[in-house]
Amino acid sequence: NSMALLERFVKNDFVDTMRISRYLLRDLPHHRLGDLVNYYNLPDIGAHRVLCDCMQTHYVLCGLRSDAIDKYGTIKRFQKACK
């Protein structure tokens, strides 16, 4: 409970790379972080370590963003297409 631990509310906004990749990369058989790391030819810096997972997720998200812009022109157009 964030109120008990931090004495403040933590809003958990998130970006789900799996959900985005399922929309953009429909031909991939799986959309797990490791699969996306391989798809974008990112270096294997280790798995299931907090910092490594965060860094890989960031780079995957950059790739997904680039793919969305290539396909839809802008992020706003991509967002509208996903609704």
pLDDT, tens digit (0-9, with 9 covering 90-100), for 3-46: 777 777 778 778 899 999 999 999 999 999 999 999 999 988 87
* Residue 77 confidence class, pLDDT cut points 50, 70, 90: very high
Q: Is 90 exceeded by the pLDDT of residue 64?
A: yes
pTM strictly above 0.85: no
So what's the pLDDT on residue 21?
A: 97
Burial of 15-40, coded b for 16+ CB within 10 Å and e otherwise, reads eebeebbeebbeeeeebebebbbebb
